[in-house]
Amino acid sequence: MNVTVYSLHKPPELRTVLAERCGADQLVWIEKSCERIDIDHPEVAQTELLILDCQDVEALDWSAVELFNLRHPQATTALILTGDLDRVLMQAMRVGVRDVIARAELAQELVGVIERAHIRLAAIHGIPSVGKIFSFIPCKGGSGTSFLAANLAYTLGELHHKKVLLLDLDLQFSDASFYITDDASPRSLGDIIRRTDLDGPSLENACIKIGKSTWLLRAPSNPEQAIGVTPDQLDGILSVATQHFEFIFVDLERTLDPLSLRVMDRSDTIYPIMQTVLPFVRGAQRLQRMFRALHYPESKIRIVVNRQGKTEDIPLGKIEEALQTQFHLKIPNDFVNATAAINSGKPLYEIAPRGELSLALALWADQLVGKRSASTHPNSRFSLGEAWGRVVRRMAPGA
């Protein structure tokens, strides 16, 4: 990886971390302030990790930073600052800065920045990681995001026999578990979030196993355990999870905070979930603006419309025109079976394996794995003939 550092004074802690973590990388120091960043400099033009050691944020050349990120979407930009970070976070995000580091925490935070840059670069170049991360975020409350994420995770594990982790990151309400289990075990994210020696077996022991191949890591049951959780702590759990599970599903809150941004940075795919009602359209547009500000490629964002088929809905074509994109999937409205599953605390696939919504989730799971399972094969004993055909047509991107 090509690493370029703008630093006028080259502080010892910065030199130490780079020496330890970038020994195999091409490291270039540019001993200048961040007041004038020469993005046409040959070394800067080739960089894949740009570190800006900024002594005076008021003098930072924000326009040059934005231009660099627009020209080099594959690169990671990190900003080191002294003082209050909160007042510049929004501006930094708008110009495409991925990490803002407090100088007092430089030694700890920069390590994670470098590791994530390596991971991101490997993904861009097609070097596969062990586990894939999929994040699910509601465009508005009540979209059914937690229900879909939980039941899709279970369906994929059962039909394809893959190790699946469902991470409930709704730290305030923790709804995902109620959709697929009535297990009242106190095990949760709070038991491991601050561990520095976490490994695969320890992570698995903190989860609740559901069915044959699905593990659920609940959000902390005690809200006090959720206070002070940092993006780096969460990042450590994700790193262990990708080495131990084949698929990681993360159920996110609607709030775009540092935790959800870290998860989405690392996600292979982000699924915004919406319904065909005007408030959801506005919420989707808001998310789209945020994704563009973060320079996420369009291929990473796949909007899913849930509960499709109600007569009072806004026509899909008008919504796609407003969003300037096509829906990735259209999930049918199966109110009776979904309600029965929710009230029983069991996965939908157990309650109604031949229902329209179950088949839709099975097809979605097929898509993620890249092959068809027996239950979604037209000639399988689980298929419903014409009903199966209707699901296929409804879920098709151009339908």
CATH number, domain of 37, equals 3.40.50.2300
Name which of 51-55, 86-90, 277-281, 282-286 the model is least confident about.
Answer: 86-90
Phi then psi dihedrals of residue 255, to 5 deg: -70, 130
Query: Are 102 and 178 members of one domain?
Result: no
- Give the domain-ending residue among 105, 124, 143: 124
pLDDT at 377: 54
Residues of the chain above pLDDT 90, percent:
54
Residue span of the structural domain in which 375 resides? 132-395
Query: How does pLDDT run across 72-131, given as a tens digit for each residue?
Result: 988 999 999 987 788 888 899 899 999 999 988 888 789 888 878 887 787 777 665 579
- pLDDT at position 375: 62
pLDDT of residue 376: 61
> Of 84, 105, 124, which one is at a domain's C-terminal end?
124
pLDDT digits (tens, 9 = 90+) for 214-258: 999 999 877 777 788 889 899 999 989 998 899 999 999 988 888
For β-strands 208-210 and 214-217, DSSP reports them as: antiparallel
At 292, is the pLDDT very low, low, confident or very high (cuts 50, 70, 90)? Answer: very high
Place of tokens 């509601």: 138
Q: What is the pLDDT of residues 326-371, one digit of tens each?
A: 999 999 999 999 999 999 999 999 999 999 999 999 999 999 998 8
Q: Are residues 99 and 204 in the same domain?
A: no
Q: What percent of the chain has pLDDT over 70?
A: 92
Residue that terminates a domain, selected from 76, 96, 124: 124
Cβ atoms within 10 Å of 40's Cβ, excluding its own = 11
Number of domains in the chain: 2
Tell me the pLDDT band of 305, cut-offs 50, 70 and 90: very high
82 & 146 share domain: no
Q: What is the CATH number of the domain that holds 300?
A: 3.40.50.300
Residue 99 sits in the same domain as residue 233: no
Burial 232-267 (b: 16+ CB within 10 A, else e): bbbbbbbbbbbebbbbbbbbbbbebeebbbbbbbbb
Strand spans (E) along the chain: 2-6, 26-30, 49-53, 76-81, 99-102, 132-138, 164-168, 208-210, 214-217, 247-251, 269-274, 304-308, 329-332
- Band (388; pLDDT cuts 50, 70, 90): very low
What is the mean pLDDT of the segment spanning 376-385? Answer: 46
Q: What DSSP designation does 218 have?
A: P
274 and 361 assigned to the same domain: yes
C-beta separation of 358 from 290 below 8 A: no
> Given pLDDT bands bounded at 50, 70 and 90, which one contains residue 310?
low
| 303 & 192 share domain | yes
Same domain for 91 and 223? no
For the entire predicted model, the pTM comes to: 0.70
- Give the residue carrying structure tokens 């540092």: 258
CB 210 within 8 A of CB 347: yes
Q: Report pLDDT for 382.
A: 39
Convert 328-345 to b/e letters by CB count within 10 Å (16 or more is b): bbbbbbbeebbeebbeee
Residue 228 falls in which region: left (phi positive, over 0), alpha (psi -120 to 50) or beta: left
Asked if residue 326 and residue 255 are part of one domain, the reply reads yes
